[in-house]
């Protein structure tokens, strides 16, 4: 082999070695993780009418909803077997369900009517009544077919002056998921939440009316 061939041969060997080392190193690098998909709990938009919020009715303050253990994070929870909760690895809520629920409760109560005002706490506005709530369950259940989402909410209507619960109830709604994935569960979750909020708004309006008509209650103007 002539001497002039050696530099070219060495160059080919070096190039091949570099490519081999580069490929080996690339295999050692961690695989990029795809960012998660984020989802929301929403409610239909509406404009409160003058009839929905009326003078002479009690005002209501809505405290930030709480959540039971396991349902107080941004994880989208699902269940395959009894007593075991899991969550989707690449799909999350944009915020915790409890924080997303707070403005939806206020909007549902304003739409239903029966109050002079509905405010979120903390607020400087005084109110005669208060609504406390707690998410007990929001999960996509794969232990049954078709899969479905169940939403359970506990709510208590409280007299702010006496600090007594004047009405309390547990609300529960189940909606069949259109698909067995995170998005199917999110759509079903929104349907379940809206069903519960409609019942909650009726419950609060009826409870406030009964409270207002009670003989011992004389604090409202116009009574």
Q: Which residues of 187-216 are buried (b: 16+ CB within 10 A; e: fewer)?
A: bbbbbbbbbbbebbbebbbebbeebbeeee
Q: Please, what is the end-to-end C-alpha distance for the chain in angstroms?
A: 114
Strand partners for 37: 91
Whose CA is closest to 151, among 175, 168, 182, 173? 173
Query: Is residue 18's pLDDT more than 60?
Result: no
Q: What's the pLDDT at 138?
A: 98
- C-alpha to C-alpha distances, 78 to 67, 122, 179, 195, nearest whole angstrom: 16, 32, 13, 20
pLDDT in tens, 50-65: 555 566 789 999 999 9
What residue ranges do the domains of the chain occupy? 1-32, 41-213
pLDDT, residue 222, reads 40
* Residue that is written with structure tokens 């019942």 in the block: 199
Residue 144 phi, psi dihedral angles, 5° rounding? -125, 160
pLDDT one-digit tens code per residue, 153-190: 999 999 999 999 999 999 999 999 999 999 999 999 99
Helix (H, G, I), strand (E, B) or coil at 135: strand
SS3 101: helix
Banded model confidence at residue 149, pLDDT cuts 50, 70, 90: very high
Reported as a single tens digit per residue, the pLDDT across 70-85 is 999 999 999 999 999 9
Cα 17 to Cα 5, 9, 36, 136, 169, distances in angstroms: 18, 12, 38, 61, 73
CATH fold of 41-213: Rossmann fold (3.40.50)
Average pLDDT, the chain: 84
In angstroms, how far apart are the furthest CA atoms of the chain? 115
């Amino acid at each position: 082999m002539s001497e002039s061939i050696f530099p070219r041969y060495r160059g080919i060997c070096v190039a091949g070695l570099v490519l081999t080392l580069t490929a080996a190193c690339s295999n050692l690098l961690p695989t990029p993780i795809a960012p998660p998909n984020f989802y929301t709990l929403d409610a239909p938009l509406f404009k409160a009418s003058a009839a929905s919020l009326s003078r002479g009715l009690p005002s209501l303050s809505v405290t930030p909803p709480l959540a039971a253990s396991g349902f107080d994070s941004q994880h989208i929870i699902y269940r395959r077997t009894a007593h075991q909760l899991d969550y989707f690895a690449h799909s999350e809520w944009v915020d915790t369900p409890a924080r997303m629920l707070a403005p939806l409760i206020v909007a549902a109560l304003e739409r239903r009517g029966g109050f002079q005002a509905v405010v979120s706490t903390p607020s400087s506005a005084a109110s005669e009544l208060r609504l406390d709530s707690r998410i007990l369950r929001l999960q996509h259940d794969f232990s049954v077919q078709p899969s479905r989402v169940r939403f359970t909410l506990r709510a208590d209507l409280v007299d702010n002056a006496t600090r007594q619960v004047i009405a309390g109830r547990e609300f529960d709604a189940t909606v069949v998921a259109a698909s067995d994935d995170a998005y199917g569960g999110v759509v079903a979750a929104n349907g379940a939440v809206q069903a519960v909020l409609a019942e909650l708004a009726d419950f609060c309006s009826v409870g406030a009316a009964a409270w207002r008509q009670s003989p011992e209650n004389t604090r409202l103007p116009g009574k």
